[in-house]
Chains A and B, each alone.
Chain A
Amino acid sequence: MNRRYTLIRNVVFVWMTLMILGAFLLNIPRINILEHTARNLYFHVPMWFTMMAAVLVSAWYSARHLKTGSVESDIRALQSARVATLFGVLGLATGILWSRFTWYVGTDVWWNFDPRQTMAAVQLLIYGAYFVLRSSFDEPVRRGRIAAVYNLFAMITVPFLLYILPRQRASLHPGADGNPAFDEITAPVMRLVFYPAVLGFIGLFWVLYTQRVRMAHIKNRLTSNPEL
């Protein structure tokens, strides 16, 4: 067992525990409509930051795999995409719950095609297609290459949604037009928990991702097929 991994893992676990304690115990200013759900800032928003980080890691290793052809990079791209999917699904689910009982009370609206929601859903669909594409190859070398090409090719179209979607629908998220920016609505005491929460969840991503990469290595050495 790698010592650096163990160290970071333990730090992440203690850090997250402190973060959760702070998230529930620190007093925050009351805001109408939001009330206690403002605390979801510490849980829902880091899901997106973590997903973005994981998507970038996946794209980076896909590009590296195309450059070098190393199995290692392919494993890392795939496992990072897997963990990105986990955090994306969690972000969608937590966002649905939060908005349903905060802004959509009395409306029976669960899903509203909010621009960021739609973007995340599209990224998840792309990863779904990426996993389907991987499963339709028998030969590991070819699979790695083609999957890396698709990962990069499909990913570059997602930023266009940033430009197009806000013109289609209003957003609940801060920073969208008409809404106050993040800085204006976030009390200093909340930032004290929010930034550590982002770091902590990204650390948690790193732990989960490293576990999967290690497992894929073992699988690769046993069967010379890294597909987990």
Chain B
Amino acid sequence: MTTPVRSFRPPIFPILLALLMAAITLAPATMAQDAPKREGIATGFDSIWTGANIPTQEATGLERIMLSDDKILVVLGVVLIIWFGIIGFLLRNDRRIGQLERELENHRSDF
């Protein structure tokens, strides 16, 4: 006898992605202020990394943002990717739990 009432579900994932995109587009204004590049401690093994050609070109666009503040934003990006992955997984779980609840309702109404 239950009519499946589908409540409005806000599209959380797109909203989060939109927020992220907005942050990336707004970031140049706040962050890419050309912080003076400090030299790190040059250690012996830096140069052994294969494929590690020291950049000769001027960094532009997205790179300028990501390389500011000693590349801490790269770490932020990595943490955000993991966080978004886990959110995505949990949201899918949520949808499956919703399906299970509806199936349970159908079973109940059979008796």
List A residues at the B interface (Cβ < 8 Å).
Answer: 20, 24, 29-37, 39-40, 43-44, 47, 83, 86, 89-90, 93-94, 97-98, 101-107, 112, 170-172, 176, 178-180, 184-185, 204, 208, 211-212, 215, 218-219, 222-223, 228
Contact = CB atoms under 8 A, between A and B. Distances in A.
A37 B51 contact: no
Contacts of B15: none
Contact of B59 (A86, A105, A185): A105
Interface in B55-111: 55-59, 63, 66-67, 69-72, 74-75, 77-79, 81-82, 85-86, 89, 93, 96-97, 100, 103-104, 107
B52 to A, nearest CB: 5
B96 A215 contact: yes
A43 B82 CA distance: 8
A132 B42 CA distance: 49
Given A103-B49, A222-B107, A35 B70 contact: yes
B40 A30 contact: yes
B81 A94 contact: yes
B74 A98 contact: yes
Contact of A31 (B41, B50, B56, B74): B41
B48 A37 contact: no
Interface SS of B by simple majority: helix
Given A184-B45, A215-B93, 18 more contacts: A20-B79, A31-B40, A31-B46, A33-B54, A35-B40, A35-B70, A36-B72, A37-B71, A40-B78, A83-B89, A94-B81, A97-B77, A102-B74, A106-B56, A106-B57, A172-B49, A211-B93, A218-B100
Contacts of A112: 51
B20 to A, nearest CB: 13
B71 A170 contact: no
Highest count of chain B CB atoms <10 Å: which of A20, A32, A102: A32
Contacts of B93: 211-212, 215
Contact of B103 (A83, A170, A223): A223
A106 B55 contact: yes
Contact of A33 (B46, B72, B78, B96): B46
B85 to A, nearest CB: 4
Given A172-B49, A178-B48, A35 B81 contact: no
